Amino acid sequence: MRKISIFGFTGSIGTQALELLDVASEFEPHIFVCNKSVDRAEKVLDKFQPKYIFFEDKDASNLFNSKKYPNVELIRNKQTLVDIIETDPSDIFLSAISSYEMMDITYLIAKSGKKVLLANKESLVVFGNNLMKEIDKHKTEIIPIDSEHYSIYHSLKNTSLDEIKKVFLMASGGPFFGSSISEIKNKSVEEALNHPNWEMGNKITIDSATLVNKCFEVIEAHHLFKIEFEKLGILIQPQSLIHSLVEFIDGSIEAQISVPSMSFPISYGLFNERSQKLAQDFSFDFSKTTTSFSIAPFPEDRKFLLEITRDIIENKQNRGLIFASINDFAVKKFLKKEISFGDIYNLIQNFYESFEKKEITSFDELKINIEEIKESFKKE
Same-domain status, 344 and 211: yes
Same-domain status, 127 and 19: yes
283-331 per-position pLDDT tens digit:
667 677 777 789 999 999 999 999 999 999 999 999 999 999 999 999 9
Residue 170 predicted with pLDDT over 80: yes
Residue 275 predicted with pLDDT over 70: no
- pLDDT band with cut points at 50, 70 and 90 for residue 164: very high
Give the end of a domain, one of 145, 174, 191: 145
Task: Kindly report the CATH number assigned to the domain that includes residue 118.
Answer: 3.40.50.720
Closest Cα to residue 298, out of 201, 182, 196, 213?
213
- Number of folded domains in the chain? 2
Percent of the chain past pLDDT 90, that is, above it, reads: 66
Same-domain status, 132 and 160: no
Neighbours of 111 (CB within 10 A): 17
d(CA 76, CA 62): 9
Same-domain status, 124 and 159: no
Phi, psi of 372 (to 5 degrees): -60, -45
Edge-to-edge strand order for the sheet containing 253-257?
253-257, 242-248, 164-171, 232-236, 296-297
Same-domain status, 109 and 160: no
221-271 per-position pLDDT tens digit:
999 999 999 999 999 999 888 999 999 999 999 998 888 778 888 888 888
Give the end of a domain, one of 112, 145, 178: 145
Same-domain status, 209 and 325: yes
Percent of the chain past pLDDT 70, that is, above it, reads: 95
Q: What is the pLDDT of residue 124?
A: 93
Same-domain status, 158 and 102: no
Range scoring the smallest mean pLDDT among 113-117, 181-185, 190-194, 285-289: 285-289
Structural domain of residue 7, as residue ranges? 2-145
